[in-house]
Amino acid sequence: MPHLLLAHLLIAPQSPNLEIGTNFTATCMIINTDKFTADDLYWNLSQATVSRDQYTKINESALNVTVPIIGEKSEWLFCLCKKVSPYFALNKDKCIHGIYLTKGYRPGKPENLSCQAVQETEYISTTISCKWDPVGHQTTNVPTSYTLTVAVHFSSTTYNVSTQENHAMVHFVSSFPTHMMLEIWVEAHNKLGRIESEHLKEDAGWFVKTNPPSDVKLISEKSFPTSLLINWTHPIPKEYLKLTYQIRFCPNGSQSWTYVPLVDTAMDIQSFRLQNLQPDTVYVTQVCCKNSRNGSGYWSNWSTNATVRTSEDRPGKPDLWRIIAEGDGINERRVQFICKDPVLANGRITGFNIRIQDQKVPSPVNRSESGSFTILQQIHLADKKSVKVYVTADNSVGKSVEALLVIPEKSHELKVWPQGGRLWLEWKPPNSTALSEYVVEWVSGDQTDWQRENRNTRRTAIKGNLEKFVCYNVSVYPMYSGRTGKPASTAVFLEQGAPLEAPAVRLNGKPGHDEAELVWKELPQRRRRGFITNYTIFYTSATKKQKITVPADTTSYTLKSLTGNTKYDVWIIASTINGSTASFNHSFTTLKYAPGEMEGIVVGVSLGFLFIVVVTMLLCVYKKDAIKVNFWPRIPDPGESTIGNWSPDYPLKAERPKENGLCGVSVLDVDVCDGKCVFEEDKASLPLKKDKYLSEEHSSGIGGSSCMSSPRQSVSDSDEGGDMADTTASTVQYSSVVASNGYKGQTPNSQPQQAIFSRSESTQPLLDSEENPDTLLQDGSRQSHRFPRRPCSTHTAGSDDGTNPGDIMEQQGALESLDFCPLEEDCEQPTADGQSAAPVSNYMLQLGGYRPQ
Amino acid sequence: MNGHVKSMRFQQFMEPATTLLSLLLVMAVDSTRIVAASRNQQCGNSLQQTLKLTRLVQRESVNLIKTYKASQGEMAEHLCKASVNNVPDPNISGLEPSERLLSIYTHLQDFFPHFKRVYEQQTDLQSTTSPLLRELSHLNASSRNLADLITSFYRSLFPNLPVPEPAGGPTTLPPSQNVFQQKVYGCVVLKTFKELLSNVPRELRTLKSKVCRRIQIYTLF
């Protein structure tokens, strides 16, 4: 206010809200000064000066301006004073005043107000939601607000809610005012005005949207195959709302709903019977509901689907037809009766019953599962005979009504046959006295010709030039004084020949494992050169050739029972009565595996492998000890030897009997190489040792441990042996250790000084096997095992002459026939003088010298 | 001659006048009938609306008694067999239709303080989420709506008769009670209210035959 008191200009009105599209007039008044007049004033709208045409001078101190309000952007309107005096320069800020023009639109009348209260559990929600369409524009500076008002009549209760949106909710106290009258409207308002929508004045139930009907059930009854009963439960007690229902249904899979007329469901019902349905069809049904009062309320959502199949019923009439072909005999036709399932099968068709003319009992025929129709029966029918055929279809409920088909006798109105290079015609005259003449016409492709015959003519020959192998359609037209009657026509060849070609056969799709579908096109008429009587399909694999004959009207055939992974050649032969022509080969290879077979094999192998693995694992677990013994035998540990417990005072006498019982023989096999090696080494070492080797050190192993239980150590003197090896390759020194103690762990020799040492200087030639050092090396161990099986007595007997070749051979033969014997098996009664005999007789071939145990 | 001519002219004038008067009379009677029929229909509609709400409140009261018994624990059946003083009378009184209609209204009004008391008592006895409290609140609101409808109907039927102001006066609430007494009191209040509601539809049907038809008769003559 102090500022205003000092100011010299003042605009009225202050900060107005202006409606866009109108004109606004403002007045600028000069106050607190007389330094200038209204003539010195001017107006600026934003930055631009307003034209003086828009000014109106009220008096010397007041100036009006009228400006059109355009554009939505708010702007400033200034009143200013011209620079007319030095006073202005000094009081510049007092000579300007501005107002802010806020622009906007008047609110539009809200339209399409609608309100809805939904059902919650048993009650109706205490909230009613309303929405409306705003009308008109609004600016950010002049926004439009809405106030929704719901007035409950008779109770003088009014609810208000304001919003900036175009929807709002009103919450009732405690409960929805069921059966009360509601008046609802919305008011749009802003700085420029306010306006109310149309008032909705309706019963509260008018605004209710209930839940869909619950527990919708469809009931199919066996005795009513074309009807279904629907039951449902009211979603809300009828004290709240009386409902009307809507029902829709369609066959399962179809989206084309059929709606039950509302007049049929307008009552307060809880069940309805759908009628005129198709038997044995799955139907889906939904139900919804709304307030039964006309024109009020909202339809609920559709209920969940209720689905059921109608009962089966007797089938409808089957679709009976026939195929007529030329018969095998003269004046005879081959008639094949075929049948499709009835359009109204009303269940699953299990079969048909065909009855021909005078048959009393119909013949049942099973329904064909492949193909689109079932071949019922084939008969040969004389041309002059007609026949009636009756067919019924069966399903689980019963039989259909009979379908009738009459095959009339073959028409003989026109008969055409070639004879003598001409085509002859014979026909029956029509039953008309108005007949004047006949016209005989023959047509082939685009060529037409005709001739006229007298009214009394019954037989004639075509006079034109006809070609062979061309199909002519011959017609005889009765003429009635220029008027053409109904013709009799037939197709005929002057002469038939083999077709020019056979149709190219190909596969339809890919071949299967054991079947392939062949297709071919019908031959063009001009390539046939006769009536095609049939097609013959040949198909060959590497091993066999097969053929199938199919009718002339066939253009596809499925080969079955083929061998998998086999190449087939296939061709087709088209035949007329005068010849046949074959098509080119078409090759294909059947699949190795039928669909799913490979998967089966893989699964089987996997399961088998898994089984083996499991069994192996189980064996390993349960036979762990046996496997361990077999594959990793326990090696005696010298460290665990009982030698440490041996008594040094072990009685020698106690060992005697064992010595006497000696029977085992330990053999040292020494081959040439070994002999050499050993002796060569020994040559160097022997002079130093010159004495005797302890057999413990040189002939241990099998030879030293197998049979000799004597505690005496055997000592081998290899001096002579070394010499022998040097002199002849075919001889070997046999060194026998008759007393050896083998392992250190065995019974120790308590009298090492009394060890018995024996030596053989046999010159026995080497065995064949012994001559092969490699073999010997490999078999040395094994042979050394064999020898001990030789009975000791033999050696004892022959040991007197160690150089006897015969004995040596005998011994060798015996050695070859023997194998290793355990200590117990080698036991033999000792000789009388065991002490003397053993060293002499028990020569043992030592191979390889020392062998580790 | 002149007189005869005049008489002839008068007769010629009278014939159309009579016809016109007859037509006007017929139109008047017909319009009266239309108005009467319209008023009668309005009366029937209001009564029908009141009947619907009465049935709804009756249903809610039946359900509420079941919920009440279920929430009072053992001996609930016996609670309702006791008698309690100061509970409003469920019987509708009066001789004239206006009196009987007013009686319905006042009886309904009488129950509201009792509902409030029962609600307060049960609030202490039940959890806040108890369906009993919700249903009590629901019944209270519906009953008030019913009272509003009846008073509106009364005013439309008898515009010149006064409507007594509700609340306060004759209704006497029981003194402070122990828990058992509260349970007994609540059940008796609800049971009595249900009895009142079972009487109301019969009254309304009687009123319909008497009052709505009488309006038509009054209007015709």
Does any CB of chain B come closer than 8 Å to the CB of residue A554?
A: no
The residue type of A284 is: V
For residue A172, which residues of chain B lie inside 8 Å, CB to CB?
141
Distances (CA, A) of B114 to A392, A574, B125, B126, B136: 80, 105, 16, 18, 11
Give the confidence band of A15 by pLDDT, cuts at 50, 70, 90: confident
A463 pLDDT above the threshold of 50:
yes
Q: What is the pLDDT of residues A272-331, one digit of tens each?
A: 999 999 999 999 999 999 998 877 789 999 999 999 999 999 999 999 988 887 777 667
| Residue A532 clears pLDDT 80, i.e. is over it | yes
Q: CB distance from A155 to chain B under 8 Å?
A: yes
pLDDT at A91 over 80: no
Q: What is the pLDDT of residue A408?
A: 79
Burial of A448 (0-12, 13-18, 19+ CB in 10 A): exposed
Tell which residue, A209, A214, A234, has the closest CA to residue A299: A209
Does residue A422 surpass a pLDDT of 80? yes
Q: Which amino acid is at A71?
A: G
Considering only residues A346 and A6, tell me which one the structure prediction assigns the higher pLDDT: A346
Look-up: residue for tokens 């150089």?
Answer: A803
Q: What is the DSSP letter of A514?
A: S
- What is the identity of the amino acid at B160? N
CB contact under 8 A, B145 and A180: yes
Instruction: Give A172 to chain B, closest Cα distance, Å.
Output: 10
Whether residue A420 has pLDDT greater than 50:
yes
Touching check for B91 and chain A: CB below 8 Å?
no
The 10s digit of each residue's pLDDT in B63-87 is 999 999 998 887 777 888 888 888 8
Sort A734 into a burial class: Cβ within 10 Å, 0-12 / 13-18 / 19+. Answer: buried
Q: What is the mean pLDDT of chain B?
A: 82
Cβ-proximal residues to A229 (8 Å cutoff; 6+ apart), any chain: A218, A219, A221, A271, A272, A273, A274
Higher confidence at residue B6 or residue A219? A219
ipTM of model: 0.79
pLDDT in tens, B29-48: 666 555 556 667 788 888 88
Residue A801: exposure state from Cβ atoms within 10 A (0-12, 13-18, ≥19): exposed
Tell me the backbone φ, ψ of residue A314, rounded to 5 degrees. -60, 140
Pairing of strands A414-419, A422-427: antiparallel
Of A123, A154, A175, the CB nearest to B149: A154
CB < 8 Å to A153, chain B: 152
% of chain B residues with pLDDT over 90: 32
> Does B163 contact A at CB distance below 8 Å?
no
User: What's the pLDDT score for residue B217?
Assistant: 47
Task: Classify A677 as helix, strand or coil.
Answer: helix
**CB proximity B137 to A under 8 Å:** yes
Q: Which residues of chain A have a CB within 8 Å of the CB of B138?
A: 123, 174-175
**Residue A432 neighbours by CB under 8 Å, 6+ apart:** A478, A480, A485
Å between A125 CA and nearest CA of chain B: 12
Residues of B in contact with A178 (CB under 8 A): 53, 56, 142, 145
User: Is 80 exceeded by the pLDDT of residue B183?
Assistant: yes
Cis peptide before A748 (omega within 30 of 0): no
Sheet containing A243-251: give its strands across. A258-259, A243-251, A282-291, A306-309
Burial A280-311 (b: 16+ CB within 10 A, else e): bbebbbbbbbbbbeeeebbebebbeebebebb
> CA A43, A48, A50: angle at the middle one, nearest 5?
40
Query: Is 60 exceeded by the pLDDT of residue B169?
Result: no
Pair A303, A255: CB distance under 8 Å = no
Q: Which of A221-225, A561-565, A731-735 has the lowest mean pLDDT?
A: A731-735
Q: Which is more confidently placed, A90 or A718?
A: A90
Does the pLDDT of residue A233 top 90, yes or no? yes
Of the pLDDT bands very low, low, confident and very high (cuts 50, 70, 90), residue A385 is confident
The pLDDT assigned to A668 comes to: 43
pLDDT in tens, A581-637: 998 888 989 888 888 888 899 999 999 999 999 999 998 899 888 888 888 877 777
- As given in the structure block, the two tokens for residue A499 are 């077709």
By the 8 A CB rule, do A710 and A659 touch?
yes
Our CA-based measurement puts residue B147 at a distance from the nearest CA of chain A, in whole angstroms, of 9
Is B140 an 8 Å CB contact of chain A? yes
Which among A154, A174, A178 is the nearest to B140, CB-wise?
A174
Residue B67: its pLDDT value, please? 92
Task: Describe chain B by its helix, strand, coil percentages, rounded to 5.
Answer: 80, 0, 20
Instruction: Report pLDDT for B214.
Output: 58
Output Rg (C-alpha) for chain B, integer angstroms.
27
Of the candidates A724, A775, A746, the residue with the CA atom closest to the CA atom of residue A664: A746
Report the C-alpha gap between A102 and A73 in whole angstroms. Answer: 8
Task: Please answer yes or no on whether A239 and B56 come within 8 Å at the CB atom.
Answer: yes
Q: Considering only residues A72 and A743, tell me which one the structure prediction assigns the higher pLDDT.
A: A72
More confident residue, B28 or A631: A631
Q: Which residues of B touch A234 (CB under 8 A)?
A: none
A124 touches chain B (CB under 8 A): no
A207 pLDDT more than 70: yes
Three-state SS annotation for A98-145: EEEEEEECCCCCCEEEEEEEEEECCEECCEEEEEEECCCCCCCCCCCE
Instruction: Give chain A's mean pLDDT.
Output: 76
Phi, psi of B145, deg, nearest 5: -60, -40
- Judged against a pLDDT cut of 60, whether residue A363 lies above it is answered with yes
Residue A832, pLDDT > 50, answer no
B214 in contact with A, Cβ within 8 Å? no
Q: What is the mean pLDDT of residues A566-584?
A: 90
The answer on pLDDT for A811 being more than 80 is no
A323 or B215, greater pLDDT: A323
Q: What phi and psi values does residue A12 have, to the nearest 5 degrees? A: -130, 140
CA-to-CA separations, A606 to A455, A598, A599, A616, in angstroms, rounded: 89, 12, 11, 15
Nearest beta carbon to residue A154 from set B138, B140, B152: B152
Is residue A214 within 8 A of residue A236, CB to CB? The reply is no
Which of A536-550, A726-740, B3-17 holds the top average pLDDT?
A536-550
pLDDT of residue A645: 57
Measured between CB atoms, does A173 come within 8 Å of chain B? yes
A703 pLDDT more than 80: no
Which positions in chain B touch A158 (Cβ < 8 Å)?
Answer: none
> What percentage of chain A reaches a pLDDT higher than 70?
73
pTM of the model: 0.56
What pLDDT is stored for residue A26 in this prediction?
94
Cα-Cα end-to-end distance for chain A: 129
* pLDDT greater at residue A258 or residue A770: A258
- The whole-number pLDDT of residue A174 equals 80
Closest CA in chain B for residue A123:
B138
Identity of the residue in B58, B138, B149 whose CB atom sits nearest the CB atom of A175: B138
Surface-to-core class of residue A807, CB atoms within 10 Å of its CB (0-12 exposed, 13-18 middle, 19+ buried): buried
Looking at residues A682-704, what average pLDDT do you find? 40
Q: Which amino acid is at A714?
A: S
Nearest CB neighbour to B55, from listed A152, A181, A239: A239
**Higher-confidence residue: A365 or A696?**
A365
Strand bridging mode A282-291 / A306-309? antiparallel
**Distance of residue A231 Cα from the nearest chain B Cα, in angstroms:** 24
At residue A127, the pLDDT reads 94
DSSP assignment of A620-656:
HHHTHHHHHHHHSPPPPPGGG-GGGG--TT--SGGGH
- A74/A824: higher pLDDT: A74
Nearest-Cα residue of chain B relative to residue A174: B138
Q: Give the Cα separation of A336 and A323 in Å (integer).
A: 5
- Residue A688's CB: how many other CB atoms inside 10 A? 7
pLDDT in tens, A553-564: 888 888 888 888
Percent of chain A with pLDDT over 90: 35
Q: Say how far apart CA A383 and CA B202 lie, in whole Å.
A: 90
Number of Cβ within 10 Å of residue B62's Cβ equals: 14
**Residue A666 to residue A843: CA distance in whole angstroms:** 8
- pLDDT tens for A138-190 read 898 899 999 999 999 888 889 999 999 999 999 998 889 999 999 999 999 99
Amino acid type, A605: V
Structure token digits, residue A451: 């001739």
E-state strands within A541-635: 545-551, 556-559, 567-576, 579-582, 586-589
Among A262-266, A715-719, B89-93, the range scoring the smallest mean pLDDT is A715-719
Name chain B contacts of A123, Cβ cutoff 8 Å.
138
